[in-house]
Structure 1
Amino acid sequence: MPHHTQTFTIPTSGKSLVEFTSDVAQWLATTGVTTGLVTLFCRHTSASLTINENAAPAVKRDMLRWMEMVAPENAGYEHDDEGPDDMPAHLRATLTGASLSIPVVDGRMALGTWQGIYLAEHRSQPHRRQVVAHVMGD
């Protein structure tokens, strides 16, 4: 069973949800895998991955607003080594997770009609985040 890997570097502009579904789909098409599993792994503790709706822009805004309410800055966290957004970023990354698994069917990710893959940037400053992709299959 063949295995393929790719590292995606995703620039962010601060707190945001950056869709990179098409990047993964384009890479997957080059692997020749028609049936298998794609795993995506975020190599950071203050950014994360999620699959969510990619049609209505309000979804991204509401998700970011919700994350601010659930893990607000300046909430008296002990860990603030890199500033007031440091610990909230770690909490938000824990909520959304570091990895995703997506089935591959007929050479394409088996995402739903309105689903997109997002890197969630939880820090205020811009970063260049890395997501490692692995696909195995036939």
Structure 2
Amino acid sequence: MRQVIHHLSVQARGRGLVEFTDDARRFVDDTDIRTGLLTVFCRHTSASLLIQENADPSVRRDLERYFEAVAPEDRERYEHDTEGPDDMPAHLRTALTQVQLSVPVEHGRMLLGTWQGLYLFEHRRHPQPRDIVLHLLGE
């Protein structure tokens, strides 16, 4: 059994979904692990991870609108606003999604479905780099 860890910097241009499937695929390809499990971990509390459709951009727009309705910016609603009015809504959106994903690897390839992609879901308005940890365990 072997394991490999890689830190991936994903640049978010502000609130929204940023696909990084190709970066994760290159990481898996660069190892000699043929069968295993890829864990993807987001090291932030105001951004999260999704496996989501990557064929139709309207899916991403609908997701963003949905989360805007579920956790809107509203200075009267939240006590926590240390980093601005988008701070607490970003934490809520992260709490409703996930910061860790697991993807099986077989024959040296991630077993994502035909239309599935890996996404960073940035919940803050301002551009910033996000640290994503890729951990592949297998043989």
TM-score, structure 2 as length reference: 0.98
AA in 1 matched with 2:14: G
AA in 1 matched with 2:120: L
Please list, as runs of the form range in 1=range in 2, the aligned pairs for 1:4-43 lying within 5 A after superposition.
Answer: 4-43=4-43
Q: Distance in 1 between matches of 2:7 and 2:34?
A: 20
Q: Distance in 1 between matches of 2:80 and 2:32?
A: 45
Percent identical pairs in the alignment equals 55
Map of 1:65 onto structure 2: 65
Q: Distance in 1 between matches of 2:124 and 2:3?
A: 33
Give the drift of 1:126.
0.4
User: SS at the partner of 2:52?
Assistant: strand
TM-score, structure 1 as length reference: 0.98
User: SS at the partner of 1:65?
Assistant: helix
- Where structure 2 has 5 or more consecutive residues not aligned to the other structure, the ranges are none
Provide, for residues 29-78 of structure 1, a one-character-per-residue CA deviation record: whole Å limited to 9, x for no partner: 11111100000100000000000000000000000000100101015101
Give the drift of 1:95.
1.1
Q: What's the Cα RMSD here? A: 0.7
Map of 1:46 onto structure 2: 46
AA in 1 matched with 2:13: S
User: SS at the partner of 2:30?
Assistant: helix
User: SS at the partner of 1:40?
Assistant: strand
Q: Distance in 2 between matches of 1:122 and 1:9?
A: 16
The number of residue pairs the alignment matches comes to: 138
